[in-house]
Structure 1
Amino acid sequence: MSRRPRRNHSPAFKAKVALAAIKGEKTLAELAEQFDVHANQITSWRTQLLEGAAEVFGGDSRTEAPPPIDVKELHAKIGELTLTNDFLAGALTKAGLLSARR
């Protein structure tokens, strides 16, 4: 018996299956047969829907805002790295390890 290739379900399909599971009109086995998905997967999607339902109505979001970027610090780092590169290029040129015709 060969294995079925891995399937990727759309978010709309997952929501449809999870809502059907929450309604409770059919058992998990019946839903699994109807939608051709394993019962454990239906349970997982139902749990995800229940945990994320509060976010739909403006609840606490799990995504955090990225930290603000300090431009002065980045410019200082660029200057430091440029200075280091220039110094090393000069030292290597003097030692004859780097061609002056770059």
Structure 2
Amino acid sequence: MIVVTGSITARHDSFDEIRKLSLEHVHRSRKEPGCIFHAVQIDCENPLRLVFIEQWADRAALQAHFAVPASREFVRALQPLAAAATTLELYDATRLEKL
């Protein structure tokens, strides 16, 4: 499984637009093949920061997600709305056990 974490910090005047775009992206992404989990949350310590958590079946599913035109457009739409650089990290994960 591939785990993706990412974040974006909005400007005060762009938070609502970033939140709207992010929710649309999450809802669309959940329907893609290989998407196990896809969510966006508001950071409790910085309410202008949105944090993404994703789980994908494998690298191929994630690469297909990145190739979707709507995914590329989402990233392009966010850039002018951000207060700081976005983050994105990928992890290759294996579940050790379920507690």
- Give the structure-2-normalised TM-score: 0.22
Q: Comparing both chains, which one has the higher relative contact order based on Cα–Cα distances under 8 Å and sequence gaps of 6 or more?
A: 2
User: Higher Cα Rg: structure 1 or 2?
Assistant: 1
Query: Comparing both structures, which one devotes a greater share of its residues to helix?
Result: 1
| TM-score, scaled relative to structure 1 | 0.22
